[in-house]
Structure 1
Amino acid sequence: MSRAGALSCFLFLCLTAAPLPAEPVRVASFNTELQREGPGLLLRDIERGEDDRVAAVVAVIARAGADILALQGIDWDHEGRALTALTARLDAAGAPYPHRLALRPNSGMASGGDLDGDGVPGGPGDSQGFGHFTGQGGIAVLSRFPIVADAVRDFSGTLWRDMPGALLPAYPDGSPFPSQQAQAIQRLSSTGHWAVPIALPDGTTLTLLTFQAGPPVFDGPEDRNGRRNHDEIVFWKLYLDGAFGPAPPDRFILAGGANLDPQDGAGRHQAIRALLADPRVTDPRPASEGGARAGDQGHAGPDRLDTVDWDGPGRLRVDYVLPSSDWTVEGASVHWPGPGDPGRDAALRASRHRLVWVDLGR
């Protein structure tokens, strides 16, 4: 063999022996707002194929190309038929998600008590999480990688009063609001708090932490919803502290809806500020051209970071994808195309929320 041939062979062996760099993992969160007013209606609308918003949600998800997707605003049913129908639509659109998880949420789960203090038990505000029927506006996880189902941890049954330092509402005289009996059964999670291990192709495990907090409004001077929203967010700091069992043994990423902006709008902003400042997580500050060009609204927070466009409160940052600090962030964005950009119409039609994604490298 010639010297040149030997050198070529040597270089080939070196290159093939070296481990190939792992592809970035894209993790996204999207509040689809696909919830319906009655059980089975979402399944009907997905299967009929005539609903413009369902089609727009499918288009947004397909364009984003996430490997792991935390969904909110998706109705739960016992057999998972609505989620199965949605994933079939996604598969047809070229966005297959062979692995999925949808545990029963607290939304619409009857409590048997008067939890909202209106004196009339049995209404949607008396469910463990606001809802007109079991599973309305639940959460789900879609993944291109296997979900380690037997290691999933569901904290949705945690009672609010059992959370360390819980900001439980009270009347001016200090008595429990709306009653001691209500606080004895009230769960913390409006929908759920899940820790979902996912097996990555390189043999490692990513733990997805996901939730959808309730809004910090629609209550009275007791600030029941504002306090609960605060504690739903603070839960994750306590979880990482080990207050609810072992913290994730591997790298994690928190993806979900906090319903709280760090600076603008209603709510106890210190909850999300503290989470964003926690040294165990990285805030990639995903941004968008659409948000940046949507027009000044006098808010303290940067418009480019906004993830929702509500009537009244305006545009706010309320949806988050926060990797643990040991990841390398290779990219991040809010899927909010600017005027004239591809995908803009579908993004605006799908939901008032925008899909948020982060690319993670080893």
Structure 2
Amino acid sequence: MASISLNKIRKAWGPVVGVDSIDLEIRDKEFMVFLGPSGCGKTTTMRMIAGLEDPTGGEILIDGERVNGVDARDRDVAMVFQSYALYPNMTIYENIRFPLRMRGVPRERHDALVREAAAIVELGDLLDRKPRALSGGQRQRAALARAVVRHPRVFLMDEPLSNLDAKLRLSMRAQLKHIQRRLETTTVYVTHDQIEAMTLADRIAIMSKGQIQQLGTPDEVYNNPANVFVAGFIGSPPMNLIRGDLENGVFLGAATRVEGLGDGTRRHVILGVRPEDITLAVGAGVHLASTLYSLEPTGDQTLVSVMAGEQMVVAKGPRSFRQELGTPIGLAFDVSRCHLFDAATGERL
């Protein structure tokens, strides 16, 4: 268990900047998720914590100890990768045991530690099998047990569920969260999947272009996005973002008029509203009047899409809603749940 401090961490390869002067405090026992698109710097940041990459600038502290220049093997961190990285010629027992042999743990302790780690990930009855005899989810649990067996100060996980199918990802998310809470080990988890981030994290660091765009709990980043990037990245479907003008508290955009927003200053803005905060409406309550562009039944709801100029706007409608494409349709926004962003900077107003 350990806290992690990143102080002005930077990583560049010549003129190419991968991580741009990040400051971040990761608390002891915290489950921290780095979330962002490919190339945003999240994996590079984690690799610098692990000691697999040397920072170009700044310092990294684990439990108050500066670890810049300390070999990866001496940082007492354990990594779980996207690929399972199991030795195919070894049994699962020997795969889990391998870190104990490498770190010189007394041999008489091996069996108890291996079986304890296997029990945590529910693989106790599969220890005599080779990796090829296991499913993808079982192999990923074996890789997790190999990290757990060391009782490290920090777990570092680089998109460990991305090779699994949707059903396995769902069950593995639940197991990961349960294991982390049980072991109370500080965990840094890298993903581009915002559902994983929202369900696993204590806090999320949302990254883009080598910088942290917002740091907060899942509720904070979802309900109060700091800028247009965060608003459009978090959520499935993501927040609708409609460009327009705000004057005297009235937003005017393509096919859109919303009263009761902001102040009397005229400015170019982006109106953000989540699909679940939009209802199908008629008459005086309509904020956006258009025609039905697409209809996507998902079982528990129906995604209703219309066009506001060149911007597609998506609402979550009742599961029973059905209409022909091209049918006139009105949408009403929950004004108390609308967000305004500066059109020039993208920052939340």
**TM-score of the alignment, normalized to the shorter chain, above 0.5:** no
Structure with bigger strand share is 2
TM-score with structure 1 length normalisation? 0.28
TM-score (normalised: structure 2): 0.29
Structure showing greater radius of gyration is 2
